[in-house]
Structure 1
Amino acid sequence: MSLFSLLGALEIGLIFSLVALGVFISFRLLRFPDLTVDGSFPLGGAVCATLIASGTDPFVATIAATFAGAAAGLVTGWLNVKLKIMDLLASILMMIALYSVNLRIMGKPNVPLITEPTVFTILQPGWLSDYVARPLILVVIVILAKLALDWFFATQTGLAVRATGSNGRMARAQGVNTGRMILGGMALSNALVAMAGALFAQTQGGSDISMGIGTIVIGLAAVIVGESILPSRKLVLATLAVIIGAIVYRFFIALALNSDFIGLKAQDLNLVTAVLVTIALVIPMLKRRLVGKKGR
């Protein structure tokens, strides 16, 4: 595999590590099976691309996309908390609605950004090529996002969010407004996903209505792979594991699709994903069995 392919895999892996962090918040911390991700990812891309194409500053467009994702997560949480719609069904309803919303925002199936400025073209040093500069910029963004999450979930509000997911009844008994915590957690989760969508649109040269298909699968795969590589109950290590999982996942995908002797093609992406997730799920089980046999 060429250096260009490796850097490309690193770039996409870093972007999807933000998705994985969002999925980690909803699935692991809140215990909320959120499929809104498949809609909030392209929502971020749609808002960002449309604003940039209309002349808005790329940084402002990216921030606006992040807030749009937070609003989508907030609506999903509201459907569940206030209208008492089952969590999975609420997220499916929002995911379906966002398809039409994204089309409305863009006004067409895709918005090109090839000739438009992006956060990467603005921050890119003149002496660095774009395929080297983009991963470096993304590393900084991901590190800042991780540090911010680690800090937030160590605060009183963050601990209340975690308590809501771990044991809602106990949290309510301690005076925690669990409904509000779910709303906040869902907003934060989808804000990260939408930010990833905005950055993805800027690296890929545009936003497309179908760019969100399978996002939740990739996010879950990254979480599962990361947890199998670095299993830990400490939040600081858990968020690090999720980021590592996203990068490792993309590297394995790139390796599989670029290995001629395997014979895989781009349309085999979902098959490779299924195999990787299966392996990641089986490895911890095999480890437990081996430990059990040694204990005997």
Structure 2
Amino acid sequence: MNIGGILLALQGAASQGILWGIFVLGVYITYKILDIADLTVDGSFALGGCVCATLVVTHGVNPFIALLISTAAGVLAGAVTGFLHTVFEIPAILAGILTQISLWSINLRIMGKSNIPLLKTGTIFSGLVNATGMKTSLASGLIGLVIAGAVIFLLYWFFGTEIGSALRATGNNEDMIRALGVNTKMTKMIALMMANGLVGLSGALVCQSQKYADIGMGTGAIVIGLAAIVIGDVLMGKVRNFAGRLISAVVGSIVYFLIRAIVLQLGMDANDMKLLSAIIVALALCVPVAMEKYRLKHSYSEGGEEDA
């Protein structure tokens, strides 16, 4: 067994986990805070990568500027889903599916082909690599960590503001917050735009890290996001403060990619990774429910015996 190769694979997996962690933060906003299953993210993740690759390769745009434009593209995708959901009252999950399907064709239009390589193009990571001589995976991890930290700080600040608190309250009890005079349609729109903006940013970062954009790079991304959130909850379930929960989303993403790297090193077929992701999510969601039911049944039985 090549220990050096395994360690290198784990380092690369951790770096990818950090970059995907920004995607997971976007999923966390809709799934955990707003209580909406937004499937737009599969399309907006690929949208961020496709826009970034096209700008950098075809138009020679600065990679940092490309990140900002990719984020704006994700925000726009979230706005479309929010518009369908809030204005036309299409169920959130269906509105997300409609936008996701549309983005497949839009992404092909943007790139003009199914994939764009960035092998001969400078990225935000290659600048650090050239300046310091460090490995690309390490540079990706360091830059990703800085960006993820900044995103967590901004989210923590935003959700402490009046509008951010209203957004969190919308997810907890929409009827109550609407009765207090809050426009819940607006809070949903803001949340969907913010979430997909982060997803687009993550797609652009992953695109620059892996040196290519592909039309299918977002396929099944929602499963990865949910798996990372669940893993983060399990590992940091005792953390109650909001900042800790945001950090747990990124931690869950890193652990997920480490698990995936280890499984691949053990010889698992890469084509089975989607199945593994689905199994991880299913187990993580089912096991706590089963344990709670067992605990309640056990305590009820003991209580019945004592009463008897």
Q: TM-score range by the shorter chain?
A: over 0.9
Decide which of 14, 17, 21 is 1:17's aligned counterpart.
21
Determine the C-alpha separation between the residues in 1 that align with 2:128 and 2:152: 20
Q: Paired residue for 1:247, among 250, 254, 274?
A: 254
Q: Structure 1: how far apart are the matches of 2:128 and 2:147?
A: 12
SS in 1 for 2:98: helix
Q: CA deviation at 1:289?
A: 5.9
Give the alignment's TM-score, normalised by structure 2: 0.90
Question: Partners of 2:102 and 2:47 in 1: how far apart?
Answer: 11
The range that moved more, 225-234 or 26-35, is 225-234
User: Does the 8 A contact of 1:23 with 1:219 survive in 2?
Assistant: yes
Q: Deviation at 1:45?
A: 0.3
Report the counterpart of residue 32 of structure 1 in structure 2.
Answer: 36
Kindly report which structure 2 residues correspond to 1:111-130, keeping only aligned pairs within 5 A, or say none.
111-124=116-129, 125-130=131-136
The superposition leaves residues 225-260 of structure 1 with CA deviations (integer Å, 9 ceiling, x where unpaired) of 111221244321211111111111111111111114
Distance 1:8 1:174 in 2: 48
Contact 1:228–1:281 (Cα < 8 Å) also in 2: no
Higher Cα radius of gyration: 2
Asked whether the equivalents of residues 228 and 283 of structure 1 are also in contact (C-alpha less than 8 Å), the reply is: no
- Is contact 2:15-2:138 (8 Å) kept? no
Distance across 2 between alignment mates of 1:177 and 1:104 = 36
For residues 167 and 233 of structure 1, do their structure 2 counterparts lie closer, same or farther at Cα, with a shift above 3 Å needed?
A: farther
**Does 62-71 or 167-176 show the bigger shift?**
167-176
Unaligned runs of 5+ in 1: none
Equivalent of 2:110 in 101, 105, 112: 105
2:168 corresponds to which residue?
Answer: 162
Q: Residue 306 of structure 2 aligns with which residue?
A: none
Structure 2 distance, partners of 1:45, 1:188, is: 17
- Look up the match of 1:186: 192
Deviation at 1:177, TM superposition (A): 1.1
On the 8 A contact 1:76/1:186 being kept in 2, the answer is yes
Amino acid in the other structure paired with 1:177: N
Separation of aligned partners in 2, 1:45 and 1:87: 24
CA distance in 2, matches of 1:160, 1:176: 7
Equivalence map 1:136-151=2 (5 Å):
136-151=142-157
| Dislocated runs of 4+, deviation >4 Å | 289-296
Alpha-carbon deviation of 1:283? Answer: 4.3
Equivalent residue number for residue 274 of structure 1: 278
Q: Unmatched 5+ residue regions in structure 2? A: 303-308
Q: How many aligned positions are there?
A: 293
C-alpha distance after superposition, 1:78-115 (max 9, x if no partner): 10001111111111100011011111111111111111
1:61 maps to what in 2?
66
Tell me, what secondary structure is at the counterpart of 1:134?
Answer: helix
Pair 1:78-2:88 in alignment: no
Whichever residue aligns with residue 255 of structure 1, its letter is I
1:236 has 2:243 as partner? yes
Flag the 1:229–1:291 CA change in 2: closer, same or farther, 3 A.
farther
Q: Output one character per residue of 1:118-168: Cα deviation in whole Å (capped at 9) or x when no partner.
A: 111123442322222211111111111111111111111110111111111
**TM-score, scaled relative to structure 1:** 0.94
Q: CA deviation at 1:197?
A: 0.4
- Displacement of 1:70 in angstroms is 0.5
Match in the other structure for 1:44:
48
User: Contact (CA 8 Å) 1:224, 1:280: kept in 2 or not?
Assistant: yes
Shift of 1:171: 0.9
* 1:176 CA drift (Å): 1.0
**In 2, Cα distance between the equivalents of 1:188 and 1:72?**
10
CA contact (8 A) 1:37 1:215 kept: yes
| Contact 2:223–2:281 under 8 Å retained in 1 | no
Equivalent residue number for residue 265 of structure 1: 269
